[in-house]
């Protein structure tokens, strides 16, 4: 049920990822998104066993520690480690349904994804249920198509799309917002490759994370 449009509540946003490791390509577009739509808190959700991607090189506790180091002192970000305690694959819809129950039916809730994930969303577990529990905030990604793969999927996108960020705080779920965020060509794969080659990565991720990677001997 929509919240009263005369009394919008605070939009809560969540951002999941393997974060192997977390880097500026995660953080800076989300900071720009927060400014664009008026977010005052983004909760990072590190995945335990990502069902659609290769298994992480760093273990769960190392990835959690890198997230904590990356966001230390930044009031925009918080971290929720619930998925790291799972022993089964991390399905986004199941986590979001749990959080929806915790927050209540009226709380505006959003899940942040990249344009690359939007284009493959129809391959996610129970993807059509996502908009029943949250909005989708989509970050621009360099080199990706701005249209869905089929006319049916494009119609689904257009049916739920909004260009009004204020609407996201007046409804608990159901909309897709395509953000005008910076497209940073930084990937965890690139960072791991540079580490394998013994190259410096200070320009790609926060220095405390880089120091932790070095101390732990990760990605060699």
Query: How do residues 125-183 score in pLDDT, each as one tens digit?
Result: 999 999 999 999 999 988 888 889 999 999 999 999 999 999 999 999 999 999 999 98
User: So what's the pLDDT on residue 50?
Assistant: 61
Output the six-digit token pair for 136. 């989708």
How would residue 89 be classed by pLDDT, with cut points 50, 70 and 90? confident
C-alpha 107/C-alpha 62 separation (Å) is 32
Query: How far is residue 111's CA from residue 135's CA, in Å, rounded to a whole number?
Result: 6
Residue 161, CA atoms < 13 Å, CB-side half-sphere: 13
- pLDDT for position 51: 61
> What is 10-184's CATH superfamily?
HUPs (3.40.50.620)
Could you give the percent of the chain with pLDDT greater than 90? 80
Measured CA distances, 82 to 27, 96, 131, 204 (Å): 20, 11, 21, 27
Cβ atoms of 53 and 18 within 8 Å: the answer is yes
Q: What is the mean pLDDT of residues 29-45?
A: 96
Question: Facing residues of 16 across strands?
Answer: 45
| DSSP code for 112 | E
In the chain, where does DSSP find H-type helix? 24-37, 60-71, 92-103, 115-119, 151-160, 167-170, 188-196, 207-216
pTM: 0.92
Terminal C-alpha separation, the chain: 51
């Amino acid at each position: 049920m929509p919240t009263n449009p005369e009394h919008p509540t605070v939009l809560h946003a969540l951002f999941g990822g393997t974060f192997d490791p977390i880097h500026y390509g995660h953080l800076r577009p989300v900071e720009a998104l927060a400014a664009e739509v008026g977010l005052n808190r983004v909760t990072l959700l590190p995945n335990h066993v990502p069902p659609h991607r290769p298994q992480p090189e760093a273990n769960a506790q190392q990835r959690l520690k890198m997230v904590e180091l990356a966001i230390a002192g930044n009031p925009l970000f918080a971290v929720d480690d619930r998925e790291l305690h799972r022993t089964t694959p991390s399905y986004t819809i199941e986590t979001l349904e749990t959080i929806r129950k915790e927050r209540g039916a009226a709380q505006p809730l959003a899940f942040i994804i990249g344009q690359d994930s939007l284009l493959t969303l129809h391959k996610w577990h129970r993807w059509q249920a996502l908009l029943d529990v949250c909005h989708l905030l989509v970050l621009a990604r360099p080199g990706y198509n701005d249209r869905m793969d089929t006319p049916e999927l494009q119609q689904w996108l257009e049916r739920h799309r909004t260009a009004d960020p204020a609407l996201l705080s007046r409804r608990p779920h159901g909309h897709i917002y395509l953000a005008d965020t910076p497209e940073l060509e930084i990937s965890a794969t690139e960072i791991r490759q540079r580490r394998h080659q013994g190259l410096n990565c200070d320009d790609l991720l926060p220095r405390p994370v880089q120091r932790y990677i070095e101390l732990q001997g990760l990605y060699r």
